[in-house]
Amino acid sequence: MALIVQKFGGTSVANTEKILSAARRAIREVKNGNQVVMVVSAMGKSTDHLIELAREISDRPNSREMDMLLSTGEQVTVALMAIALESLGHKAISFTAAQIGIKTDNSFNKARIRSISTERMRDALKEGKIVIAAGFQGIDDDFNITTLGRGGSDTTAVALAAALRADVCDIFTDVDGVYTTDPRIVPEARRVSCISYDEMLELASMGAGVMHSRSIEFAKKFGVPVHVRSSFSDNPGTVIGPDPESRDVPVCGAALAKNEARITVVEVPDEPGVAMNLFSRIAEAKIPTDMIAQNASTKGRTDISFTVPGEDFVVAQDIVKKVAGELGASGVEYNENVSKVSIVGLGMVHQTGVARKMFHALSEHGINIEMITTSDIKISALVERNDAIQALRAVHEAFELDRDPASRTNIYNSPNQKSAKAEDNSEEEDKEQVSAELVSRLAGMEEILIEKVDLDQSQARFTFANVPDEPGLAAAVFDKIAQANIVVDMIVQSVGRNNLANISFTVPRDELDAVNKLAKDVASTWKCDILQNPMVAKLSVRGTGLRSHTGLASRMFRTLSSNSINVSIICTSERCVSVIVNDEAGEKSFSLSVSEFAEEML
Ligand code: ASP
Ligand code: MG
């Protein structure tokens, strides 16, 4: 007998007919001999309607009362679902979050789950009932109703699956799985059969957004297999779990985060503490920073660029204006109309030419890249919002994402470059079956979890400084490098003043001579300066919950700066923060970070 959590989103319970059909699905599983816990969202667009009602009365409704209001949507659905199940002759019981002890902190509108008590659900299951839990809501220590943020029912479902040690968490939705990109924008997009937690995390918070990204963090932490599937058919969907289909191709999907805003703090002194000050102020306001790029300095000064969600721009701008002066920056620049295009895939760790292919696809369409950041399994480029859709299409096509992975043309694959990092990754995949003990160890179920702090002292860093920021630059640089079969690791491009960009990347130290030759060519074509540091240390912190815990990057920067360690390059993604420091500071940075994050380490 298996225990299955089935989550039905708003569109899957939009009317009573759909509620009945969801109920039939649950009953079918019970007839197969399984126990079922259903988690449901509010019907159709009812959460939106509730928000509109509040807005008709006030521009700034009290956040506690908003949660009180919004939680009612799910309460309607649980009750109707129980009535539906009983009308179909099955025993059922509905619960609000308070009734099953889904405890959260008290940050209204974006509360985090702290604990779940499973007793009452288990008792009901033992009595042969189907349990129906209200998604999206929780209760704080003072019995206030809280909500987990829009789309939060996914997180409720995966959290219940984790707490109950369910065998699988089925997410029934209006799409039949996770696609290589948003099929509404790129109709050729293809359904992915299996995707890893990490790939999904890198894709999730950016509009491939089939699922709430915190739910994937949960799933990964607790090793819950998640099956995303259509509530209107029996077709297999996408399994998010440890065995992805992307093993042998560089890229599993492409994503677009359309409404981003970019802020650049221009010419800050390149000294310890600057990044810490900036990002801790932003984290205090609970604004998630996404792409962070700090480049190598010229004349002791550097630019720090980062993106925030469009809706947080105004507040972030105010903060940065204040902080910039204190930091001694020469100015602040913005672009409110940018979008982020990313490619993600476990396979890119050991293949050359991946970055090149992406930048080429963009430059062939005349699209300028404003900013670049990378993680081990992701490359993101920031473009003007007007170019966003074309950029996504171009990238999707370049990597043949419309085709079955087995039938894609191989790109510059260089087996001799299959570095230790690739093996490392598969080991990590095994670890994803996190032991059940973890459930009891984690007092707060949504705490940040650090998987690994890594120190890599095998790389050299190159920077092209003051390059004219125009289409084709990145493509030209990485063309040459790919032709020489060199694996590029970290790539950071940031915009400075007067549309001059700095582009930095790291390569293995033993490729130093080769890259030096190439760099001279590039520099003479683009009339830019080359800076290099043949001995750098790359420190990275990888984990889950990084993006949703706004303070991680600043904690890392604080730890380093309070020990007078200067960070020369910063680069972030959804699940990884990497910095470049001087080689001599490498080991110290590593041990400092390990002790800083000791409590959060797996
Ligand atoms: N009803 C909530 C929302 O619309 C939660 C959810 O659907 O996941 O955001
Ligand atoms: Mg939803």
**Residues of the chain with pLDDT > 70: what percent?**
91
Minimum mean pLDDT range among 200-209, 236-245, 340-349, 367-376: 200-209
CA-nearest residue, atom 5 of ligand 1: 151
| Greater model confidence, 402 or 482 | 402
Mean pLDDT on 291-315: 88
Question: How many CB atoms neighbour CB 389 within 10 A?
Answer: 16
Mutate to test the pocket of ligand 1, among 7, 76, 150 (most ligand atoms within 8 A of CB): 150
Q: How many helices (H) and strands (E) does the chain have?
A: 17, 24
Closest CA to 536 of 578, 496, 594, 477: 578
Question: How many CB atoms neighbour CB 288 within 10 A?
Answer: 17
**Residues of the chain with pLDDT > 90: what percent?**
54
* Integer Cα distance of 176 and 167 in angstroms: 20
Instruction: Give the Å distance between the CA of 291 and the centre of ligand 2.
Output: 25
Reported as a single tens digit per residue, the pLDDT across 467-517 is 888 888 788 888 888 888 888 888 988 876 777 888 899 999 999 899 998
Task: Look over the chain and give the mean of its residue pLDDT values, rounded to a whole number.
Answer: 87
Flag whether pLDDT at 417 surpasses 50.
Answer: no
Instruction: Give the Å distance between the CA of 156 and the centre of ligand 1.
Output: 11
* Integer Cα distance of 477 and 475 in angstroms: 6
Q: What is the pLDDT of residue 132?
A: 98
SS3 call for 526: helix
Instruction: Give the Å distance between the CA of 240 and the centre of ligand 1.
Output: 21
* Integer Cα distance of 70 and 58 in angstroms: 15
Q: Which ligand is nearest to the CA of 39?
A: 1
DSSP string, 407-459: GSPPPS--GGG--HHHHHHHHHHHHTS--THHHHH-SSTT--EEEEEEEEEEE
Instruction: Give the Å distance between the CA of 147 and the centre of ligand 1.
Output: 9
Q: pLDDT class for 548, splitting at 50, 70, 90?
A: low
Flag whether pLDDT at 415 surpasses 50.
Answer: no
Q: Which atom of ligand 1 is nearest to the CA of 9?
A: 7
Longest dimension (CA), the chain: 78
Q: What is the pLDDT of residue 423?
A: 39
CA 413, 416, 418, 419 torsion-angle sign: negative
Closest CA to 217 of 570, 552, 571: 552
SS3 call for 254: strand
Mean pLDDT on 202-223: 75
Flag whether pLDDT at 442 surpasses 50.
Answer: no
Q: Which atom of ligand 1 is nearest to the CA of 149?
A: 9
CA-nearest residue, atom 8 of ligand 1: 151
Reported as a single tens digit per residue, the pLDDT across 10-41 is 999 999 999 999 999 999 999 999 999 999 99
- Bridge-partner residues for 5, per DSSP? 37, 169
Q: Which atom of ligand 1 is nearest to the CA of 153?
A: 8
Minimum mean pLDDT range among 101-105, 126-130, 521-525: 521-525
Q: Strand 194-195 and strand 238-240: pairing?
A: parallel
Flag whether pLDDT at 79 surpasses 60.
Answer: yes
Mean pLDDT on 242-253: 84
| Greater model confidence, 546 or 471 | 471
Q: What is the pLDDT of residue 90?
A: 97
CA-nearest residue, atom 9 of ligand 1: 150
Instruction: Give the Å distance between the CA of 185 and the centre of ligand 2.
Output: 19
Mutate to test the pocket of ligand 1, among 7, 8, 11, 47 (most ligand atoms within 8 A of CB): 47
Flag whether pLDDT at 350 surpasses 50.
Answer: yes
Q: pLDDT class for 209, splitting at 50, 70, 90?
A: low
Q: Which atom of ligand 1 is nearest to the CA of 151?
A: 8
Q: pLDDT class for 204, splitting at 50, 70, 90?
A: low
Q: Which of 44-53, 189-198, 374-383, 410-419 is the most confident on average?
A: 44-53
DSSP conformation class of 585? G
Instruction: Give the Å distance between the CA of 460 and the centre of ligand 2.
Output: 44
Reported as a single tens digit per residue, the pLDDT across 563-593 is 999 888 888 887 788 999 999 999 999 999 9
Q: pLDDT class for 332, splitting at 50, 70, 90?
A: very high
Token pair 């590039």 is at which residue? 522
* Integer Cα distance of 68 and 366 in angstroms: 49
| Greater model confidence, 134 or 415 | 134
Q: Report helix angle 388-398 to 354-364, nearest 10.
A: 130
Instruction: Give the Å distance between the CA of 6 and the centre of ligand 2.
Output: 13
Dihedral angle computed from the Cα positions of residues 102, 106, 109 and 111, in that order, rounded to the nearest 10 degrees: -50
Q: Which atom of ligand 1 is nearest to the CA of 152?
A: 8
Q: What is the pLDDT of residue 539?
A: 95
Q: Which atom of ligand 1 is nearest to the CA of 150?
A: 9
Instruction: Give the Å distance between the CA of 151 and the centre of ligand 1.
Output: 4
Q: What is the pLDDT of residue 446?
A: 65
Decide: 508 and 486 in contact? Cβ < 8 Å. yes
CA-nearest residue, atom 6 of ligand 1: 151
Ligand 1, CB cutoff 6 Å, lining residues = 9-10, 41-42, 47, 73, 135-136, 150-153
Q: Which atom of ligand 1 is nearest to the CA of 148?
A: 5
